[in-house]
Amino acid sequence: MLRLEHRRFVLFAGIAAGLALVGNKMRGEDPVSSANAQSQQAAAPPVPAGAREVPSRMIPVPDTVSPEMQAIIAQPPDLDWNRNVPKTPDEWKAEVQEAAHGVMAGLPKLREALGVTVQPTTIGGVKAFLVTPKVVPSRNRNRVLLHLHGGVRVYNPGEAGTREAILLAGFGGFKVISVDYRMPPDFPYPAALDDAVAVYRDLLKTNKAKNVGIFGTSAGGSLILTTLLRAKMEHLPMPGAIAPGTPTADLTKTGDTLFTNEMVDNSLVTQDGFIRATALLYANGHDLKDPLISPVYGDMHGFPPAILTSGTRDLYLSNTVRVHRKLRAAGVEAVLQLWEGQSHAQYNRDIKAPETREYNDEIARFFDLQLGR
In this structure, the answer to whether residues 74 and 36 fall within a common structural domain is no
Helix (H) / strand (E) element for 335: namely strand 334-339
Query: By residue range, what is the domain housing residue 361?
Result: 67-370
Q: Residue 175 has what pLDDT?
A: 98
Q: Residue 88: give its domain's CATH number.
A: 3.40.50.1820
Cα-to-chain-centroid distance, residue 66:
23
Tell me if 55 is assigned to some domain. Answer: no
Q: Cβ atoms within 10 A of the Cβ of 275, count?
A: 23
In this structure, the answer to whether residues 113 and 231 fall within a common structural domain is yes
Rounded CA-CA distance 332/307 in Å is 11
Rounded CA-CA distance 259/318 in Å is 10
In this structure, the answer to whether residues 358 and 225 fall within a common structural domain is yes
Tally of domains within the chain: 2
In this structure, the answer to whether residues 83 and 213 fall within a common structural domain is yes
In this structure, the answer to whether residues 165 and 89 fall within a common structural domain is yes
In this structure, the answer to whether residues 21 and 119 fall within a common structural domain is no
* CA-wise closest residue to 304 among 241, 350, 225: 241
Tell me if 56 is assigned to some domain. Answer: no
Q: Residue 32 has what pLDDT?
A: 42
Rounded CA-CA distance 115/21 in Å is 81
In this structure, the answer to whether residues 349 and 262 fall within a common structural domain is yes
Rounded CA-CA distance 198/125 in Å is 8
Q: Residue 49 has what pLDDT?
A: 87
In this structure, the answer to whether residues 352 and 206 fall within a common structural domain is yes
In this structure, the answer to whether residues 308 and 223 fall within a common structural domain is yes
pLDDT tens sequence for the chain (373 residues): 333 333 333 333 333 333 333 344 334 444 444 444 444 444 666 878 889 888 898 999 999 999 999 999 999 998 777 778 999 999 999 999 999 999 999 999 999 999 999 999 999 999 999 999 999 999 999 999 999 999 999 999 999 999 999 999 999 999 999 999 999 999 999 999 999 999 999 999 999 999 999 999 999 999 999 999 999 999 999 999 999 999 999 999 999 999 999 999 999 999 999 999 999 999 999 999 999 999 999 999 999 999 999 999 999 999 999 999 999 999 999 999 999 999 999 999 999 999 999 999 999 999 999 999 8
13: Cβ–Cβ under 8 A, 6 or more apart, which residues? 38, 41, 42
Q: DSSP secondary structure string, 271-307?
A: STTHHHHHHHHHHTTS-TT-TTTSGGGS--TTPPPEE
* Size (the chain), residues: 373
Tell me if 187 is assigned to some domain. Answer: yes
